[in-house]
Every structure is written in C-alpha cells, then in structure tokens.
Amino acid sequence: MTKTHTYRGVVWLDLESPTDDEIGGVIKRYGLHPLVGEELKRASTVAKIDFYKDYILVVLTLPVRTRVGTTYSIVDREIDFVIGRNFLITARTETIEQLEYFGKIFEANAILNKEEKIDHAGYLFYYIVKRIYAGMVEDLENIRDALAEAETRIFGGDERDMVEALSGLSRELIDIKQIARMHHDVWEDMVNRNDHEFMGGEFAAYVRDIRDQFNVIHEIIVNARELLADLRETNDSLLTTKQNEVMKVLTLVAFIFYPLMFIAAIFTIPAGGIPLIGRPYGWTAIMIGMAVIVAFMWWFFKKRRWI
C-alpha cells in the first residue's frame, strides 16, 4: 500500500508492505540504484546509512514496546528512508504508530499551511525521526515508571513477585539497547558526510540535533539499567534475608521439638518401672516438664539473640 503526501513541493511516499511492482515503480520514477530497491524489499538486522549522488538511504531498526496479555515485550520494527532533494520514501512491512501519527500531523499542516521549515525532504526526515524518538522516550519513561512501582513494591514486602517483574523489565531494556545499538553510528556518519548539495550546510545542525536526541535516549537506557541493577540487588538481598529468617525459625522449632520427641519416646518404651507411667497426674507432670524445657530453651535463644 502506498500513501502519497505532498507539501510545498516535497513528496513523501509512504510504502507499507510494498509489492515488487510498487518498489519497481518507485525505483524507476526516481532513478534509484537497484540495490536500494533490494534494501526496500528485505529486512535488515542493524541500522545503517548509504550515500548516493543525489539521495541517501537510511535504515533504522526501531524497538517498539507492545503489550502482550498482562506484560510488555519489545518488538523489532524497521523503516527504510530514501532522502532526496524533493522526495522522501519510507518503506516498512508493518504499521508503526509514530509514523502513522506523523502522517496525520503532516496532512493537517498541509491544510493549515503552517510555517515549518521544509526547504527539502531532509527536513521532513528530521521531523519524522524526532517523532519516532519521542515515542521511544515515552516507552522508556513507561519502563522507568514501572521501575518506580517495582521499588515501592519491593519495600512493601512483595520481593518474591518482583523477581519476575524485574526480569521482564531487564529483558525490555536489553532488547531496546540491542535493537537501537547502531543509531549513533548512523548519525555520526550523516554529520561527517553532510556534503550533499541538496542538504546544505545548515541541515547539519538538524542532524546533530537528531544525534543528540538519540544520545539522550541512550543515557535514559543506561540510567534505567543501573537503577534496575540496584533494585535487583536490593530485592535479592531482601528476599534472601527473608528466606534466611524463615529457615532460622524452622530450624529453631525443629531444635526445640527434638528433645520433646526424645522425652516422649522414652516414656513410650514398653518396659516396666518407667517413672510416672500409670501414676496419678503422671501425664500432667510430663506435659509440665516439657513446657518447662520449651520455656527454658526459648529464653536461652532469646538471650543469645538467635530469635
């Protein structure tokens, strides 16, 4: 499916799950290299940038946070950009919310004739990437809110439940970092190779702004992972302490009852002349003796600060 947007002489072709015929038509229309067409057809594993005489190919792999049941997961989405002087081509195989949202804004701006600076398609590319990165920041802020909630629950006594929750958040941050790991190199290359006439020297500032925005995202990821590591360490420490306390109590209870079981076993030996057996108040005396032993052992443990 192809959507065409036109604004101030700049054409934006948005290809969603394009067919070979659609890609072939775009390649012929704008005189693109056949390798660009191959790139638009297949999915890449990493972000990259290729420079041609009159246009630039930029491939961005995007981490998108999606809800799966009661949890979240990070899925890999790709957008291919072909940036010319008066045209911008975007190609993707699946719907990307931020790009759909930008398309609506773009149409509204065209209708309202707002004064955004779009001297060439590079500026349109800049606004799209800014919108996409804003979506990534929003996802990371949601993860950070989840970490804050996890911190509250950790100190609220939900250490056991937080083990799985923290593991899920860790997986999300790892996936985001892995999917977007090459973006910085793309922007560095674009800044250093900003020698195309249709871009102009002024556009370098916009590319640097994109690079700086990604650096902010990278810092958010790093800070979130550091917070996650601290929370996991704290949660594991509290969980271990709680488990140790349970084990200590169970050990003390067993240690207290072992002597009582031994005494009870003695009085059940089938032999004659066993003290208290068959005597009035014998059972009561045995119970009182056991209670005294339990009380003494409890006092001893408390004095030793074992409980």
Tens-of-pLDDT digits for all 307 residues of the chain? 777 777 777 788 888 887 888 888 888 887 888 887 877 777 776 788 888 888 888 888 888 888 887 788 888 888 888 888 888 888 888 777 777 777 777 666 654 455 566 677 788 888 888 888 888 898 899 989 988 988 888 888 787 888 888 888 889 888 888 888 888 888 888 887 755 555 666 777 888 888 888 888 899 989 989 998 898 888 888 888 787 777 877 777 777 777 778 777 777 777 666 776 767 777 788 788 888 888 887 787 777 776 6
**Model's pTM, two decimal places?**
0.74
CB 103 within 8 A of CB 1: no
DSSP for the chain, please give it.
-EEEEEETTEEEEEEES--HHHHHHHHHHHT--HHHHHHHHS--SS-EEEE-SS-EEEEEEEEEEEEETTEEEEEEEEEEEEE-SSEEEEEESS--HHHHHHHHHHHHHHHHT-----SSHHHHHHHHHHHHHHHHHHHHHHHHHHHHHHHHHHTTT-HHHHHHHHHHHHHHHHHHHHHTTTHHHHHHHHHHT---TTT-TTHHHHHHHHHHHHHHHHHHHHHHHHHHHHHHHHHHHHHHHHHHHHHHHHHHHHHHHHHHHHHHHHTT---TT-TTTTSTTHHHHHHHHHHHHHHHHHHHHHHTT--
- Residue carrying structure tokens 């704290």: 234
Q: Cα separation of 81 and 59, whole Å? A: 6
Q: Which amino acid is at 97?
A: E
pLDDT at 108: 63
pLDDT at 71: 81
Reported as type and span, the H/E element at residue 276 is none
Question: Which residues of the chain does CATH 3.30.460.20 include?
Answer: 2-241
CATH topology of domain 2-241: Beta Polymerase; domain 2 (3.30.460)
pLDDT at 195: 56
CB 149 within 8 A of CB 105: no
